[in-house]
């Protein structure tokens, strides 16, 4: 039986309707012929593009035709699989040149930071310029996942920077020296390091383990020395609380404005808070709280409340307030003194220093009730009660 003539063309890939995947279908009994067009386009694009990549990254005289490469790459992207394969080949080829450029910086790792940092910045800028040139001829409009060729290319620099341990150690050393100097109040110029961050250092780079642990260790070392000095000065509580508030404010500002804090702000602040305050809570309350309450030192009490509330330490402050009212009240009762003045003072402290904190006010109220003196409503509570009215039918209204 003679085969019937081929009667139509159909696309073999119905999901993406790829015009490159064209197959010839015959009537039953005829073998299907499917030319491998995507592979042809991929090979053609790579043949034209690979020498161009070398020319771009080695700064050789241009000997390629941009339009030919652009069209060849565009055809390779007629098939998603061949387009992605082409991008993979591009990135693998780029890595060869990026790695060599970063490794060349190892020769300058013993140089002064004023020499090393400009070289590092220039290396980054040159890479960005060359990547832009490559993207301009490699039909950069397509994406792999949600990332363009430019996005994928930018990730190569920090990747190979992390692999160059000697260069990383040099950058780490410069960073830590700048941090120490800044914490000591010295003038620090971070312009070049910020420029490097803006070019290629993404958050993932600064979260990498090669940098985070030494960075946190540096903070622990510095603030441990600060707290040790606090102990040696016999715990000057008012001055120390001012110092802690200033240090925490400064670190938070650094987290917002200096690139080397952004990647692990939470772990940084937890370390600083623990060393400066959490490890000394019992001493601060023991030597400071009673003194502040006796002397009606509202500024110091307000500062203590602000710090404790930010660090979830109000439970300890609440216990200290309970102990102070009860012990002071019992002492006054034994001396046949009136509790009215103490109650008035505590009421003012709760209102002005403790921001009318509900839990602290509840503790104070309970303490005075136990001492036999009912707690009067605060001014704010009284105002709220006065604003409540009932109409003739007994319905509640808030005025």
Q: What is the pLDDT of residues 210-256, one digit of tens each?
A: 677 888 899 999 999 888 887 776 668 999 999 999 999 988 887 77
pLDDT at residue 197 in the model: 65
Q: Which residue has the higher pLDDT, 308 or 235?
A: 308
Instruction: Round to whole Å and give the CA distance between 378 and 386.
Output: 12
pLDDT at residue 2 in the model: 46
Instruction: Round to whole Å and give the CA distance between 142 and 150.
Output: 10
pLDDT digits (tens, 9 = 90+) for 200-212: 555 455 555 567 7
> Which range, 29-38, 127-136, 161-170, 366-375, has the best average confidence (pLDDT)?
127-136
pLDDT at residue 263 in the model: 66
pLDDT at residue 298 in the model: 95
Q: Output the six-digit token pair for 330.
A: 């019992």
Q: Closest Cα to residue 142, out of 99, 78, 232, 189? A: 78
Query: Does residue 369 register a pLDDT over 80?
Result: yes
Enter the pTM of the model: 0.67
Q: Which residues contact 142 (CB under 8 A, 6 or more apart)?
A: 77, 83, 87, 148, 149
pLDDT at residue 69 in the model: 92
Which band of pLDDT confidence, cut at 50, 70 and 90, is reported for residue 395?
very low
Percent of the chain with pLDDT over 90: 42
Q: Which residues contact 391 (CB under 8 A, 6 or more apart)?
A: 397
Q: Which residues contact 90 (CB under 8 A, 6 or more apart)?
A: 49, 53, 134, 138, 149
Q: Are 245 and 297 in contact (CB under 8 A)?
A: no
Instruction: Round to whole Å and give the CA distance between 78 and 80.
Output: 6
Query: Does residue 24 register a pLDDT over 60?
Result: no
């Amino acid at each position: 039986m003679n085969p019937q003539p081929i009667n139509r063309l159909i696309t073999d890939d119905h999901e993406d309707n790829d015009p490159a995947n064209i197959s010839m279908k015959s009537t039953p009994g005829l073998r299907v012929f499917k030319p491998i067009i995507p592979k042809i386009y991929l090979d053609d694009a790579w043949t034209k593009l690979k020498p161009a990549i070398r020319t771009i990254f080695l700064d050789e005289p241009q000997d390629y035709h941009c339009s030919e490469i652009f069209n060849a790459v565009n055809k390779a992207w007629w098939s998603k699989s061949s387009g992605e394969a082409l991008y993979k080949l591009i990135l693998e080829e780029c890595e060869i040149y990026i790695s060599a450029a970063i490794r060349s910086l190892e020769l300058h790792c013993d140089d002064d930071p004023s020499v090393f940092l400009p070289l590092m910045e220039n290396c980054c800028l040159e890479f960005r310029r060359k990547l832009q040139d490559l993207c301009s001829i490699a039909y950069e409009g397509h994406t792999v996942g949600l990332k363009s060729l430019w996005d994928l290319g930018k990730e190569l620099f920090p990747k190979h920077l992390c692999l160059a341990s000697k260069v990383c150690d040099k950058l780490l050393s410069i960073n830590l020296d700048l941090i120490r100097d800044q914490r000591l109040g010295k003038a620090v110029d971070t312009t070049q390091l910020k420029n490097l961050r803006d070019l290629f250092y993404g958050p993932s780079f600064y979260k990498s383990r090669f940098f985070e642990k030494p960075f946190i260790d540096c903070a622990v070392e510095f603030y441990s020395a600060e707290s040790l000095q606090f102990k040696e000065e016999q715990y000057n509580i008012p001055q120390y609380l001012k110092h802690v508030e200033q240090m925490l404010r400064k670190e938070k500002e650094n987290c917002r404005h200096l690139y080397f804090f952004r990647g692990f702000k939470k772990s940084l602040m937890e370390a600083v808070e623990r060393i400066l305050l959490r490890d000394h809570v019992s001493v601060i309350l023991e030597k400071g709280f009673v003194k502040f309450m006796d002397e009606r030192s509202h500024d110091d009490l307000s500062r203590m409340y602000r710090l404790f509330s930010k660090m979830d330490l109000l439970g300890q402050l609440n216990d200290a307030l309970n102990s102070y009212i009860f012990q002071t009240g019992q002492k006054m009762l034994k001396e046949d003194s009136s509790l009215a003045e103490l109650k008035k003072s505590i009421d003012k402290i709760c209102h002005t220093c403790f921001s009318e904190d509900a839990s602290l006010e509840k503790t104070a109220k309970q303490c005075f009730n136990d001492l036999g003196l009912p707690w009067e409503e605060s001014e704010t509570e009284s105002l709220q009660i006065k604003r409540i009215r009932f109409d003739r039918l007994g319905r509640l209204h808030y005025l």
